[in-house]
């Protein structure tokens, strides 16, 4: 199970700064797993694999050279609202999922 933390929260901003990332220009997510931090394509692939089927099919992207994976990540990140849509309101988790959110 993953626990989510908004980058805009106090702790999220502190984590961004700790890892040398801009706390105002969110260019990646951070996956903390087994004491290690993963960013961009590597973090996203590891997260997807951890979600199980069908998301774990993302493991095939590890076969790509790192430069290609990062370029693909940047393209998707730049176009994420066109690809996945945008909402006018923030997501509020149902009570049974609140323990998955740190802030």
pLDDT in tens, 10-26: 998 999 999 999 878 88
Three-state secondary structure string covering 7-57: CCCHHHHHHHHHCCCCCCCCCCCEEEECCEEEEHHHHHHHHHHHCCCCHHH
Q: Where are the domains of the chain?
A: 10-100
Could you tell me if 31 and 51 are in contact, meaning their C-beta atoms sit under 8 angstroms apart?
A: no
Residue 70 has pLDDT above 80, yes or no: yes
pLDDT of residue 5: 87
Q: Provide mean pLDDT across the span 59-84.
A: 93
């Amino acid at each position: 199970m993953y626990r989510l933390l908004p980058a805009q929260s106090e702790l999220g901003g502190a984590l961004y700064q700790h890892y040398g990332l801009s706390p105002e220009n969110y260019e990646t997510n951070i996956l903390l797993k087994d004491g290690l931090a993963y960013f961009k394509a590597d973090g996203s692939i590891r997260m997807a694999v951890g979600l199980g089927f069908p998301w774990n099919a993302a493991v095939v992207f590890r076969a790509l050279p790192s430069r290609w994976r990062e370029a693909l990540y940047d393209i998707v990140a730049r176009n994420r609202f066109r690809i996945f849509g945008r909402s006018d309101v923030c997501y509020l988790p149902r009570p049974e999922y609140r323990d998955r959110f740190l802030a």
